[in-house]
Amino acid sequence: PAAAESRHASPAAPRRLREKLRTAARMAGPPARTAPSSRQQVQGSESRAQPASGAPPARDTRAPFRFDYERFRRSLRHPVRGRRPGEDPETRARRMKIKEMMKFAWDNYKQYALGKNELRPLTKNGHIGNMFGGLRGATVIDALDTLYIMELEEEFQEAKQWVEKSFDLNVNGEASLFEVNIRYIGGLLATYYLTGEEVFKNKALELGKKLLPAFNTPTGIPRGVINLGRQGTCPQQHFLYGMSWSWGWASAGSSILAEFGTLHLEFLHLSELSGNPVFAEKASNPQPGLQVLNRVEKPQGLYPNFLSPVTGSWVQHHVSIGGLGDSFYEYLIKSWLMSDKKDSEAKKMYDDALEAIEKHLVKKSAGGLTYIAEWRGGILDHKMGHLACFSGGMIALGAEHAPEERRQRHRELAAEITSTCHESYTRSDTKLGPEAFRFDAGSEAMATRLSERYYILRPEVVESYMYLWRLTHDPKYRHWGWEVVQALEKHCRVEAGFSGIRDVYTTTPTHDNMQQSFFLAETLKYLYLLFCEDDVLSLEDWVFNTEAHPLPINHTDFKA
């Protein structure tokens, strides 16, 4: 793949998609009435009740909402960048190396591609792509919080200045609801919470309104593609009209589990910062979204990847913890954590889903490697995608809060899956992992198809290393993370940035000429945090969205 990749799936797929279902269900009003056509004009949000004919409109005398940022910062239990107590020189030196890699990636993007979405490091130019509906600067937005956490102050100011002066939201194009949410909304929200700079909050809220038309479906479950252009406004609420439709490659006009299920964290924070409940309502409503998920029969307790936003029925029975399904499950446990462990509904959905996954999908190879298979209408496909390797970290995170009888079992499962994903790296010539690896025909934890041998700077394996390190402090996770750093330096670093490679099984790989924005948002951030103390972006204060943008746990209400 020489083009920018959707962070999480195939073909243009999302990486973690789940919360939106329960979001789409939890707080909103009755479903909007829309015809079940594949493309349709829809309104940005339900209209408010109209006054009786001839009556003057009611005046809104409420004081404008203001989020109390200083109170929020005081509520954090740890300094954002930690206290940096004494540490061993090797750990610090390794962290500084990762910081240098981030500076190198940013400096080359700034020099050759600033304002484009990604850097093409071999040809030293920029790439725009078609996932973001005309939005630009994906690498800027994805990099902001990483630059801040790494204390790359000058580079952070460069990125901030671009947002202030050049980040244009008045665009007209077809965007992935999922990708815009996790990269742009997530990155802007995180940077506001880290810095208190109003420009990031204002851009997030303005962009968030442009995504609302996607939810106007008979079920409240959003379609995957949204046109960000302004076709008109709703006079009552001044929200945008837009066009939304399903991906052409998605079966029968379906919505994708990992896409509609990966909106909840960000949309709750849009409501938190704006005082406008419409975002939380769209993403968390039990009428209709959650009801749809609770009502529809789940085969063996599993959630298939494709659901009709018109009928609320499954379109086909393909279940995956990797691309198309992954972040649905991630956002269940993280919704519960972000609610300060109050969202019991999300916790129960996570627990039930993991129980079904354990029962039907978790397998052990002849060589003793634990993996999570995919499920196609009752038939197992014995493969794992690189995207599925996030699950070790997710299960470890959930295990810390599991009942005693399951806690140790889930800790062991998380460690075993993470070890399997490590094996997919160590069994390649480059010590980087393939896009997918299989457990059949005598092969274990290796790609057996040419189309699955590439590595595009993905973060999921080091993401799990970071969580396992934080939760166990077993030094092997830092050792494994450093192996990845060395492999990236040897095989992916080129003269003007970092590039993915087309075949991890050759020591002279061909580069794909793409520095993905998620390399700066996720891969380098997780590696950096792996060599930080636990109080840097402490898990007591933050949850990471599926693009590794930190969003705060809701310890209290911060309305001023």
Known catalytic residues are: 179, 326, 435, 460
Nearest 5°: CA angle at 301, between 295 and 302? 100
Inter-residue contact 82 to 533 (CB < 8 Å): yes
Q: β-strands 242-245, 314-316: how paired?
A: unpaired
3-state secondary structure of 422: helix
SS3 breakdown of the chain: % helix, strand, coil, rounded to 5? 45, 15, 40
Whole-number Å distance between alpha carbons of 187 and 180 = 10
Whole-number Å distance between alpha carbons of 529 and 543 = 13
Residue type, 36: P
Q: Which residues contact 240 (CB under 8 A, 6 or more apart)?
A: 44, 209, 210, 212, 213, 230, 231, 232, 233, 234
Residue 299's Cβ-count burial label (10 Å; 0-12, 13-18, 19+) is: middle
List beta partners, residue 306.
256, 316
Whole-number Å distance between alpha carbons of 42 and 33 = 9
Helix residue ranges per DSSP H, 68-185:
69-75, 89-113, 138-149, 153-166, 177-179
163: left (phi over 0), alpha (psi -120 to 50) or beta: alpha
3-state secondary structure of 5: coil
Any binding-site annotation on 546?
Answer: yes
What's the farthest any 2 CA atoms get from each other in the chain?
Answer: 78
Q: HSE-up of 554 (CA within 13 Å, CB side)? A: 21
Residues annotated within a binding site for Ca(2+):
546
Residues annotated within a binding site:
546
